[in-house]
Amino acid sequence: MSGEQDDAFAGRVCRITPTEVLSVAPPGGPVAGEPPMEVLRAQASVVAPARTAYRGVFHTQREVFVGNFAVLREVGSMSAFGMKLPPASDTNEAAHDLPNLQGAKLALESMESGVMFFPISFSSLVKPSVRAELKPYLEALPQAHRGRLAAAVYGTPRAPSFSALSQMKRFLYPFFSRIDLRVADPAFQIDDLAPELAASVTLTLPTGAEFVRLAAISRFMRAAATYRRKRMWQGVTDVSRRREVNACIELGVQFITGPGVTDLLENPAPVSPCSALQLPLHDWSVRPDPDMVSSVA
């Protein structure tokens, strides 16, 4: 069910439902007979290129997916039914920002609705030379969809200066309708943040034991009254376990994303209602078309 294996065997994987039998490994292949195991083993060695994938953003109170967060999948990362290959990574790195801008831009053009969150490093935004490198990619974003474009500024420090945030907003505002500050410290200094500088603040959960992650959610939500007063949303990302999903819902986190919310999707999650009991959402997608992703790489 998790799509993980140790590659001790190679064979055919089928999804069986009351109405059909569908081959998912190899994708679109026969459900019985050919090809033999040796051919399947050779097909499994194909390495997927790096490309942009997506985590659905879930609104806990309305129980609906409202958008997607762009993530760069590492070279070789596969979908749920991939063979033994490096796992997909949600790590935010400045080197990923430009490929994500390109890849998510293409996906946005085919999306009928929903917000696309583009990750951009805070440290990049405070460096004039890097801002100059970013600007042509931001100018290429479809301004007809500006109302659906959001900048997810990761690596935001616990107490960012007013001047740095003002500079950041002046640079991003012509291209994005909202700014989401992504922080690692649940005690982010919301009291010092001017309301007009961001639409939301999202906590990235720490690595480690579950009780540490649950404690971070609880600490972050202690300031819920202050966030409401400043008219800012609170979100939590990297939600991985069912208890973390439940804690976010019980404590009133408005938006959540992460492996416990959706699989790392090859295509953006559509804007659609979904019961929290049905999370995480999977697309059970297969390896991407190399011709399609080569235009993004």
Per-residue pLDDT of 244-294, as tens digits, reads 999 999 999 999 999 999 988 888 999 999 999 999 988 764 444 444 444
Residue 111 Cα distances to 17, 72, 271, 280, angstroms: 28, 18, 9, 21
pLDDT digits (tens, 9 = 90+) for 155-187: 999 999 999 999 999 999 999 999 999 999 999
Residue 37 predicted with pLDDT over 70? no
Say how many C-beta atoms besides its own lie within 10 A of residue 283's C-beta: 18
Choose between 177 and 25: higher pLDDT. Answer: 177
Share of the chain above pLDDT 70, in %: 80
Model confidence at 47, pLDDT cuts 50, 70, 90, reads low
Q: pLDDT-derived band of residue 297, with 50, 70 and 90 as boundaries?
A: very low
Longest Cα–Cα distance in the chain? 66
Average pLDDT, integer, range 80-94: 54
Please tell me the predicted confidence (pLDDT) of residue 248.
98
Is a pLDDT exceeding 50 seen at residue 20?
A: yes
pLDDT of 252 reads: 97
Res 21: pLDDT: 80
Q: What is the mean pLDDT of residues 88-116?
A: 80
Exposure string for 41-74, b = 16+ CB within 10 A, e = fewer: eebbeeebbbbbbbbbbbbbeeeebbbbbbbbbb
Q: What is residue 40's predicted lDDT score, i.e. its pLDDT? A: 61
Beta carbons within 10 angstroms of residue 228's beta carbon: 12
DSSP designation for 258: S
- Return the pLDDT at 23: 78
Separation CA 44–CA 28 (nearest Å): 14
Which pLDDT score is estimated for 206?
A: 94
Q: What is the pLDDT of residue 89?
A: 56
> What is the predicted pLDDT for the residue at 123?
93
Higher-pLDDT residue of 102, 150: 150
The residue that leads in pLDDT, 78 or 165, is 165
Least confident segment among 75-79, 181-185, 213-217, 248-252? 75-79
pLDDT band at 18; cut points 50, 70, 90:
confident
Alpha carbon distance 267, 207 (integer Å): 27
- Whether the predicted pLDDT of 7 surpasses 70: no
Whole-number pLDDT of residue 85: 39
